[in-house]
Amino acid sequence: MVVAQYEPSGYIKDDDAQNWKVDEMFQSFKEGTEAANEDRRQRGFPELEIVDWVERPAYDAATHRLIWSMSIRHKGASADDRQSINYNTYALGREGYVTLNMITGADTIAQEKAHAQALIGGIDFAEGKRYADFNASTDKTAEYGLAALVGGIAAKKLGFFALAAGLFAKFAKVIALAVIGGGVALRKLFGQKNPPDTSA
């Protein structure tokens, strides 16, 4: 399953990518997940634990693309239990960013992440809306940088991980078909040079 979204966040400065401390970031995620488990229990969701990076946060300053991914499982699950993976790709523009987030499993991520990278690589902003078109004197600047796209968004998605893990367990075959059909549709939609939905 791939979720596509445009976020009109304003221009996101990318200079903090030079100073990322990825190991410390990962430890913060683990601690934050533990702290949030109480809320999940109250809401009837299973408790979660972060397993590891699937892909450590990486930013390409030339193309203004960001990728990161983590695997998560139900707390106390055995090593053989299915892990839920959220594979996140971002394309930055002058006024915000496009994100394509793929929900999948550890047994298929090796093949599927190539498709996610191809989809995000096929997105271009219209002339005047590109990252390089930023005008510091007139344009809105986001109050956060790239690190927040990893940390803050990861925290918001933890609840969705719980739903996704259960969904995959119950409807794995149905989701596999949806991924194939959805992938074809997204390639048609986002493979164009100037897709209408991402040129805003």
Q: Residue 45 CB: number of other CB atoms within 10 A?
A: 20
| pTM, to two decimals | 0.70
- Among 12-16, 51-55, 72-76, the range scoring the smallest mean pLDDT is 72-76
Phi then psi for residue 159, to 5 deg, are: -65, -35
Q: What is the pLDDT of residue 119?
A: 87
Q: What is the pLDDT of residue 161?
A: 44
Q: What is the pLDDT of residue 12?
A: 94
